[in-house]
Amino acid sequence: MDKRDTLNYQRIEKAIEYIQTHFKAQPSLEEVAEVVHLSAAHFQKLFADWAGVSPKKFLQYTSIEYAKQLLRHTPANLFDTAMETGLSGTGRLHDLFVNIEGMTPGEYKDKGAALTIHFYFYESPFGHLLVASTAKGICYMVFADDEVKASHGLFNQFPKAHFIQQSVALHHEVVKAFAVKEALPGKIKLHLKGTAFQLKVWEALLKIPTGQLTTYGQIADTINSPKASRAVGTAIGSNPIAFVIPCHRVIQASGAIGGYMWGPVRKTAIIGWEAAQVERLLK
């Protein structure tokens, strides 16, 4: 991926934000294209190249009615039957083979004092990305609109670790999760700093199939803590691995998209993009 991906996403993000703000006026393709300083034909092609569908179809995927439909048709045992989506083994939508290893009590308590962490910045279809890893796996991955702020977030997570700004093979493997045309990533190993409760919530998120949505309450039920929706929301909000641990697939019971650590417009973009990839695969 190159910087063109980020530039294209910035245009798409601006278009999505405009449509969401002005949806009652039903803006035309030409009007939205003008907002991002492109001709209507160029904007239509750019959007289709990025999402795989037209802007109009994409907005359908990000509407409350579409979200409600997904929630209504989500089986009660979604997290135990993720493979029933029919997408396993076909193209890039295969469920990622992700293994979470929690940091030891010593590593947690010592704030990473014994860890060497490699970190580097990459491009993705949803903007600039910071990826960091220990010898055991990916420990941190966030969208980095501000590189300095993103770096400080990493340093604060592991204040006593030894940091090396360098690209390593583990990073390239996890960045493949964003690729539509490239080979699927292999087994992705995550080395996470979290409480037992947080790890349980993050593991539940990994079982939400691509193109599906669920709610905070359903996650709470899944981990056998039906009264802990608020705590579940807090754990989801502290997810240290953007996209791969798909906290973007958790929305409000009303069908509203809800908040997102890296911005609600980006969350909307990811949800719509994933739905478009599912449609493309099933054609």
Catalytic positions are: 247
User: In whole angstroms, what separates CA 204 from the centre of its chain?
Assistant: 15
Strands 162-165 and 116-122: parallel
Tokens for 142, please give them: 């966030």
Tokens for 128, please give them: 């600039």
- In 3D space, the residue among 158, 157, 231, 151 whose CA is nearest the CA of residue 198 turns out to be 231
Contact 119, 138 (CB under 8 A): no
CA torsion, ordered 239, 17, 274, 125, to nearest 10 deg: -80
Residue 160 sits at the vertex; the CA angle it makes with 152 and 231, to the nearest 5 degrees, is 65
Q: How far is CA 99 from CA 134, 190, 203, 275, in A?
A: 14, 6, 9, 24
Instruction: Return the SS3 of 126.
Output: coil
**Rounded Cα distance, 179 and 192, in Å:** 23
* One-letter amino acid of 181: K
- The dihedral sign for the CA sequence 219, 221, 223, 225: positive
Instruction: Return the SS3 of 140.
Output: strand
**Rounded Cα distance, 200 and 131, in Å:** 22
Contact 199, 109 (CB under 8 A): no
Tokens for 259, please give them: 């908040």
